[in-house]
Amino acid sequence: MDENQEELERHFQQLREELHQNDLQDFREHFLEMHIYDQGQFYQGLDDQERQLVYSYLSPKELADMFDVIEEDDEHVEEYLSEMRPHYAADMLAEMYTDNAVDILNELNKKQVAKYLSLMEPEHANEIRELLHYEDDTAGSLMTTEYVSIVANQTVRSAMYVLKAEAQIAETIYYTYVVNTDNQLVGVISLRDLIINDDDAMVLDVMSERVIAVHVGDDQEDVAQMFRDYDFLALPVTDYEDHLLGIVTVDDIIDVIDDEAASDYSGLAGVNVEEVDENPLKAASRRLPWLITLLFLGMSTATLINHYEALVSEASILAVFISLITGTAGNAGTQSLAVAVRRLAISDDKEKNFLKLIIGEILTGVVTGLVTGLTILVIVGIWKHNFVLGFVIGTAMMAAITVANLAGSLIPMVMERLGFDPAVASGPFITTLSDLTSVLIYFNIASLFMERFIG
């Protein structure tokens, strides 16, 4: 544990003592001087009785600042809300940034959502209801309505007045969006431009008309790609008629990137990577469907090997290299799958010629298969003093790697074109499929040269 962490732990212990001693003034002073993230870490380490004391010491607004960081990432958020007084919880949700409050409410059932909305001021409740209607994983579900907008036909001085008046409730003030009288997005002006331009200059003359926006129904992955490409801190969200509806900020996009990475990794591994601290029985119930499915697919491989039992009986040496060929082909397929999923995640690559990509993967498979096959040919030839057997193993290895490489890239590409998540073509699935094709290739090639390497 480094010095900073040790100091933070000592600070946490001091706060706990102040809680238990009912030292309201010192607790508030020491708690509120901490960074919001550290406040959240302290809060999440408390038991339910200690949290009750926190609710009596902090206002809903002070707790809301911390919950903007905790948000829906903590699986206990629903528990936290349930242990608060309903009015207190509703006031806290109303004080949060709208998009963060919506994220939390989306984790609750409809009855709970209705209860909290009914206890809020109508203005706050209506803002939240508006965002709750948007589909999950879209720009609409990510956006916040706490932003600053100005009109084009006003001066920089009046724009700065608006900015100062609304800065406290806005999620970010680095960009100010310019709208017309119909609330249609017509431009954007940065905080820097507002500061350096003359106070009497018109916003219309200093704003940038080349404003990049996302549609309210755009997928969150596409929105994240826009942030990556343009290095924005925020992006405006519009409807089909260019009306400004809200903004998406970079902190929400970081969460999206984390979620998408975890989702892709879960798909590639064939397991939910978020189940780190999950109950063993629950974790097992999540993993079993994939394992049982792969078990039946693996039985196909066992059945195929059984079909060539006579061949193996006649040349038992073939059994030695089954796992070598299937394992190497499976590894090649998984490598190809990982590259294919990554390629599909980059929008610039999605429009490339499909046939060109397939040819490229075939060539990659042939080259890697050829080098690997030649290597194993020499090793087996020297080891077993039988270069015909080495040739059989090497040729089977080259063919198996080529097919596995093609499958690893082709399957996710086909799934993406059919509208499915390409990461669902998981590593275990590709590996098991490679086992099946590798065994088929291996024994068919071996049967062609049977007489020569037994001889």
pLDDT at residue 313 tops 90: no
Same domain, 289 and 429: yes
pLDDT at residue 354 tops 90: no
Same domain, 75 and 177: no
pLDDT at residue 74 tops 60: no
Distance CA 65, CA 97 (A): 9
Q: Which residues of 9-18 are buried (b: 16+ CB within 10 A; e: fewer)?
A: eebbeebbeb
List, for residues 378-418, the tens digit of each pLDDT value.
Answer: 999 899 888 888 999 999 999 999 998 888 888 777 777 77
Residue 243 lies in a domain: yes
Domain of 19 in residue numbering reads as 3-136
**Domain boundary, last residue among 136, 165, 186:** 136
Same domain, 157 and 128: no
**Domain boundary, last residue among 136, 165, 180:** 136
List, for residues 22-31, the tens digit of each pLDDT value.
Answer: 888 999 999 9
Q: Provide the domain count of the chain.
A: 3
CATH of residue 78:
1.25.60.10
Same domain, 284 and 430: yes
List, for residues 34-68, the tens digit of each pLDDT value.
Answer: 998 899 889 988 998 999 999 999 999 999 988 98
User: Of the ranges 214-223, 322-331, 333-342, 388-397, which one carries the lowest mean pLDDT score?
Assistant: 333-342
Same domain, 325 and 356: yes
Same domain, 287 and 220: no
Residue 142 lies in a domain: no
Residue 345 has a pLDDT of 63
Same domain, 119 and 181: no
Instruction: State the residue for tokens 């089977």.
Output: 396
Distance CA 150, CA 159 (A): 6
List, for residues 411-454, the tens digit of each pLDDT value.
Answer: 777 777 776 666 555 667 777 788 888 989 999 898 888 777 66
Residue 263 lies in a domain: no
Residue 406 has a pLDDT of 86
Local structure of residue 276 (DSSP, 8 states): T
Residue 274 lies in a domain: no
Distance CA 401, CA 327 (A): 10
Contact yes or no for 286/275 (Cβ under 8 A)? yes
Same domain, 342 and 374: yes
Residue 273 lies in a domain: no
pLDDT at residue 265 tops 60: no
Contact yes or no for 367/436 (Cβ under 8 A)? no
Same domain, 335 and 383: yes
Residue 340 has a pLDDT of 76
CATH of residue 166:
3.10.580.10
3-state secondary structure of 267: helix
Contact yes or no for 189/159 (Cβ under 8 A)? yes
Task: Output the six-digit token pair for 341.
Answer: 């999923």
3-state helix, strand, coil in the chain (%, to 5): 70, 10, 20
Local structure of residue 86 (DSSP, 8 states): H
Contact yes or no for 263/423 (Cβ under 8 A)? yes
Percent of the chain topping pLDDT 70: 86
Per-residue DSSP letters for 305-334? HHHTHHHHHH-THHHHTHHHHHHHHHHHHH
Same domain, 235 and 104: no
Residue 259 lies in a domain: no
3-state secondary structure of 242: coil
Q: Which residues of 159-182 are buried (b: 16+ CB within 10 A; e: fewer)?
A: bbeebeebeeebbbbebbbbbeee
Distance CA 210, CA 224 (A): 20
pLDDT at residue 319 tops 70: yes
Same domain, 122 and 157: no
Residue 224 lies in a domain: yes
Distance CA 28, CA 54 (A): 9
Q: How many residues does the chain have?
A: 455
Neighbours of 229 (CB within 10 A): 12
Distance CA 124, CA 133 (A): 15
CB-count exposure of residue 260 (10 Å: 0-12, 13-18, 19+): middle
**Domain boundary, last residue among 112, 136, 160:** 136
CATH of residue 292:
1.10.357.20
Same domain, 126 and 154: no
- For residue 387, CA distances in Å to 186, 312, 454 come to 74, 19, 11
